[in-house]
């Protein structure tokens, strides 16, 4: 009598695809967050320029949504669409800040402007500067770890090639003389 085993009967194998999907989803989310984090300062500058030109916060947001990089433009467009459906700008901004934590500081600053009529220029300039400083710190951190990341290719690729091209011919030449 033959014993039949299936993939599902082997313990732990059935959960492998789920773990892989989860890891890929986490990696995709981190990439999207990094792209959004890189695009937010540009969008903040666009909103600041539009507000400085005399646009209302809603019009500044619409203008920025039209010209901003794609990842952040979609979120700004969502706020504009919610407002066109009857949601107040302050509520739409608060909801977007809750849904996308990276946009919370921008949503809070624009929400304060809408609710209180506070000037937005200085707050937007500070937010953009903070965003750029964060990006610069992250880039410096990645640059500091680059030497460690390059050790693996160096040891496994470059050093063996160096040995094959320099040491082996010298040893072979020495053996031929003997």
pTM: 0.74
Q: Which residue has the tokens 């040891």?
A: 155
Report pLDDT for 161. 85
132: Cα within 13 Å, side-chain hemisphere: 11
Report pLDDT for 160. 85
- In this prediction, the residues of the chain whose per-residue pLDDT falls under 50 are none
Report pLDDT for 164. 86
At the topology level of CATH, where does 18-135 sit? Answer: Receptor-associated Protein (1.20.81)
Question: Any idea where the domains of the chain sit in the sequence?
Answer: 18-135
């Amino acid at each position: 009598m033959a014993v039949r085993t299936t993939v599902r009967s082997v313990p732990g194998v059935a959960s492998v695809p789920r773990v892989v999907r989860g890891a890929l989803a986490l990696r995709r989310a981190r990439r999207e967050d990094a792209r959004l984090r890189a695009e937010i300062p540009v969008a903040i500058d666009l909103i600041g320029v539009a507000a400085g030109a005399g646009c209302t916060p809603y019009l500044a947001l619409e203008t920025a949504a039209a010209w901003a990089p794609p990842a952040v433009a979609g979120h700004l467009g969502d706020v504009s669409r919610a407002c066109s459906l009857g949601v107040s700008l302050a509520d739409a901004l608060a909801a977007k800040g809750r849904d996308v934590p990276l946009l919370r500081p921008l949503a809070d600053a624009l929400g304060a402007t809408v609710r209180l009529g506070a000037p937005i220029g200085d707050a937007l300039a500070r937010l953009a500067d903070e965003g750029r400083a964060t990006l610069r710190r992250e880039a410096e951190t990645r640059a500091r770890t680059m030497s460690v990341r390059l050790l693996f290719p160096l040891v496994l690729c470059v050093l063996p090639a160096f040995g094959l091209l320099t040491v082996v011919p010298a040893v072979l030449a020495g053996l031929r003389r003997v």
